[in-house]
Amino acid sequence: MTLDTRTNIELLVNIFYDKVKKDALLAPFFEHVDWPHHLPVMYNFWSSMLLGDQSYQGSPFHKHLSLALQAQHFDRWLNLFIETVDENFEGEQAQEVKERARHIAKVFQFKLGLS
């Protein structure tokens, strides 16, 4: 399956967050998430990144400032994300989304003083 449609991007996001909710290290950060609100925001974010549809408006970094995140959380997030992509998707956009996720993790860690 490829990541060239919004439907497939939504599938990626759903599978990924199902893993996050079950992950002992990451799940505590998501206990109080309003999922009916959060998931469409993530659909828009990744659709904007991969499809260029500009459906996402906002600044994702600011939402993370109040969280007690450490480098290990970013490592786990990235590992689960890449695992989800590798298990379910292929093609150029699958590679692109993994590179973008790596870049996002690196930038967030830098901005938080973790790298």
Q: Please check whether residue 87 lies inside any domain of the structure.
A: yes
Q: Please check whether residue 44 lies inside any domain of the structure.
A: yes
Q: List, for residues 38-48, the tens digit of each pLDDT value.
A: 999 999 999 99
Number of domains in the chain: 1
Q: Please check whether residue 15 lies inside any domain of the structure.
A: yes
Q: Given this model, what pLDDT does residue 64 score?
A: 60
Cα–Cα dist 86/82, whole Å: 6
Q: Does residue 114 contact residue 64 with C-beta atoms inside 8 Å?
A: no
Question: Given a cut of 60, is residue 108 above it in pLDDT?
Answer: yes
> Smallest Cα–Cα separation from 26: which of 83, 88, 89, 69?
69
Look up the CATH number of the domain holding residue 54.
Answer: 1.10.490.10
| Position 33, amino acid | V
Q: Please check whether residue 16 lies inside any domain of the structure.
A: yes
| Position 99, amino acid | E
> Smallest Cα–Cα separation from 9: which of 72, 94, 79, 91?
94
Range(s) of the domain holding residue 100: 6-111
Q: List, for residues 2-29, the tens digit of each pLDDT value.
A: 999 999 999 999 999 999 999 999 999 8
Q: Given this model, what pLDDT does residue 111 score?
A: 87
The pLDDT of 101-109, averaged and rounded, is 93
Q: List, for residues 49-93, the tens digit of each pLDDT value.
A: 999 999 988 777 666 656 667 889 999 999 999 999 999 999 999
Q: Please check whether residue 1 lies inside any domain of the structure.
A: no
Residues near 40 by beta carbon (within 8 Å), at least 6 away in sequence: none
Instruction: Specify the pTM.
Output: 0.91
